[in-house]
Amino acid sequence: MTRTRSRFAKAGILAVAAAVVTVCGAGQAAAADKSLTWKGGFPIIGDQTVKTVVHVDIPAKATIGQPVSVPFSLDVDAGDSTADGLRLVGAKKVGGAIDASVSLKVSSGQAISLKVNLPIPDTEVPASGPLKFTAKGKVDFTVPQGTPAGKATTSVEPKSVTHVTTDASDPSLAKFDVDLALDPPSQDTVLGSTDVG
């Protein structure tokens, strides 16, 4: 467990999803709950599957040039093996942030990548069982001028980076970055659509 860059499946996931909401503006919102699974390589324990559920309310309409602020949350179940690995190195707490992105496909067919940062709350490593947490945040965004009017669809992009902090006894694991990828990659990642006008 000497790598400072290691894939620690906490999906952000991808986090990730929250940016979808940014694209939407005011108007009646439609709740979206999207379950996705990710895979990442862990120190000592190797590749593990991480389960996530994205919760977001997607407004039915967005106005070009108008700012949007949309709250979102992400439930993460990093599994028993992840928690076992943390317990093995003496970590009692984890935190950090997830850098993820969503793809906004507008009516012209153009895809716009939107970045989103999702803070990971300080979470105690359980004495037994899986590591679970809920990350909450919001995205502030302005639908750019020149965006074509019409229906826009937002999807979670297939990769994310998690910046992990721990209180592990090994100093090299105090901070490290983690790469995650959707697994399987064929999952339906569409979070919803909104009318841009």
In the structure encoding, which two tokens stand for residue 196, read together? 């841009």
DSSP H or E segment with residue 162: strand 159-166
pLDDT for residue 29: 60
Could you read off the pLDDT tens digit of each residue along the chain, which spans 197 residues?
444 333 333 333 333 333 333 333 344 566 778 999 999 887 778 888 999 998 888 777 878 888 777 777 889 999 999 899 899 989 999 999 988 887 878 888 888 787 878 899 999 999 999 999 988 877 677 777 888 888 888 888 999 888 889 998 888 888 888 889 999 999 999 988 888 87
DSSP H or E segment with residue 193: strand 190-196
CATH topology for the 19-185 domain: Immunoglobulin-like (2.60.40)
User: Are 101 and 13 spatial neighbours (Cβ–Cβ below 8 Å)?
Assistant: no
Q: How many CB atoms lie within 10 A of CB 69?
A: 11
The answer to whether the predicted template modeling score (pTM) of the entire model surpasses 0.75 is yes
pLDDT for residue 30: 64
pLDDT for residue 103: 80
pLDDT for residue 130: 95
Residue 4 phi/psi, 5° resolution? Answer: -85, -20
User: Are 84 and 129 spatial neighbours (Cβ–Cβ below 8 Å)?
Assistant: no
Going from N- to C-terminal start, the domains of the chain cover 19-185
